[in-house]
Amino acid sequence: MMPQTSFAQSEFGAKKKTTRRERFLARMEEVLPWTQLLPVIAPHYPTGERGRPPIGLERMLRVCFLQQWYGLADEALEDALYDSQALRGFARIDLAGAGVPDATTLLKFRRLRETHDLCRGLFAAINADLAASGLLLREGTLVDATLIAAPPSTKNAKKARAPEMHQAKKGHQWHFGMKAHIGADRDSTLVHAVVATAANVADVTQASALLHGDEPQVHGDAGYTGAEKRPEIVALGRKIDWQIAGKRNALKALAEGAEKAALKAAEKAKASVRAFDEHPFRIVKCLFGHRKVRYRGLAKNGHQLYTLFGLANVVIGARRATA
């Protein structure tokens, strides 16, 4: 049941222009599978038998999603909810009645999700809904990884870097932070597997964790060279066609001729398929603004990645549904 509209909300709704933020939130309101998401958290959410009655679960989950979409810290999200009627409308908060969740409440809700591994459950519930809609095809798999930066120094007593983060060289530049490894459906680009590691972990070592188990073909860049020979892949005991990019130096070393032209054409064809694995990364990094880690440690950031890529799948699914 929708709450009664206040005078402030009526005045806001009478304005002449609908902003991009309002359009985005309205679309997310339509496509998010609330009836599947709420039961994931409900068994672990406080019932209010003792102490102050808790804020409603659906409202807290809505606020959690706002935090991921707009890359806000707990305190910044609290302020943004007071400032923006669009955000309050999505969260179903009326300042004349229920108040805005404070930063401490937001922190406790995040710790609840981490303690019971609920972010993975939300990710699975979103994918189950997309699969039921026929969008998660589970044919070929795209595997890839992206670097997410971490602060190079911290304000702790030892003046030391985050111990679980490491540096890695990409091209001619060094990066410090972590990696987000994903396995995505080749045809829909929906993410079905997420792994968080330090930045210095080789992509190929995570290949087996990014497979759903039924794909006949896997596409990856040169970082996955030799994946088919790794013992964890061999132990799967099934035939997989690995479409892995060739090494650039090997291609450059060939003399010009028919053989080199054929190899170039083959690499271009593989790249045209593999390029779509950048779509989930673009949504998480550019649309949601998640270019740097927010928390200390791989575990906390790994939980957040499940939420981010689950919400990225919702965006991709909404776009495919209207295409």
Residues 103 and 143 in one domain: no
Among all chains, which residue has been given the structure tokens 């809904």? Answer: 129
Does 216 fall in a domain? yes
The predicted-structure confidence for 216-238, as pLDDT tens digits, reads as follows 999 999 999 999 999 999 999 88
Domains held by the chain: number: 2
Kindly report whether the global pTM for this prediction surpasses the value 0.85. yes
Helix H, strand E, coil C: the string for 81-95 is HHHCHHHHHHHCCCC
Q: With bands split at pLDDT 50, 70 and 90, how would you rate the model's confidence at 74? A: very high
d(CA 309, CA 288): 10
Q: With bands split at pLDDT 50, 70 and 90, how would you rate the model's confidence at 94? A: confident
Q: Say which CATH number the domain at 277 has.
A: 3.30.420
C-alpha distance from residue 179 to each of 171, 246, 308 (Å) = 16, 22, 14
CA 60 to chain centre: 19
Residues 143 and 290 in one domain: yes
Mean pLDDT over residues 158-178, rounded?
A: 83
Does 316 fall in a domain? no
Residues 142 and 286 in one domain: yes
Residues 188 and 286 in one domain: yes
Q: What token pair was written down for 101?
A: 């969740």
Does 29 fall in a domain? yes
Q: Which residues pair with residue 184 across a beta bridge?
A: 142, 191
Across the chain, mean pLDDT equals 89
Tell me which residue range forms the domain holding 92: 7-116
Running DSSP on this structure, what letter comes out for residue 178?
A: E
